[in-house]
């Protein structure tokens, strides 16, 4: 455990950020699964709709610093490629 006042503060800040980032990461994973499931079912309209939502969520995660911008770009690119393969 932390011994100094500044270490205690840092530990508290890290925990707060971890919990905040956790929700964003969970939402990102959930919407990614929805896109993959829609493409597996060959539901083109649903896949496109979910893809647009996924793009928004992933971009927001990158903007908040939860994901690196290039990681976000790669995820969006791969999902788009997957959806375009069934359309």
- Measured over the CA atoms of residue 31, residue 13, residue 68 and residue 71, the dihedral's sign is negative
Domains of the chain: which residue ranges?
A: 5-86
pLDDT for res 14: 96
Whole-number Å distance between alpha carbons of 84 and 78: 10
Whole-number Å distance between alpha carbons of 53 and 48: 9
pLDDT for res 3: 87
Superfamily of domain 5-86: Ribosomal protein S20 (1.20.58.110)
Residue 38: pLDDT band (50, 70, 90) is very high
Check if the beta carbon of residue 54 is closer than 8 Å to that of residue 39: no
pLDDT score of 87 more than 90: no
pLDDT score of 2 more than 80: no
Contacts of 23 (CB under 8 A, 6+ apart): none
Chain segment 64-81, per-residue pLDDT in tens: 999 999 999 999 999 999
């Amino acid at each position: 455990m932390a011994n100094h006042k500044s270490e205690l503060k840092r530990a508290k800040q890290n925990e707060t950020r971890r919990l905040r980032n956790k929700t964003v990461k969970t939402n990102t994973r959930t919407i990614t699964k929805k896109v993959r499931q829609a493409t597996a079912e060959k539901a083109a309209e649903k896949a496109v709709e979910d893809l647009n939502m996924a793009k928004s969520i992933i971009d927001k995660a990158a903007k908040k610093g939860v994901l690196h911008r290039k990681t976000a770009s790669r995820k969006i690119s791969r999902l788009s490629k997957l959806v375009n393969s069934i359309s």
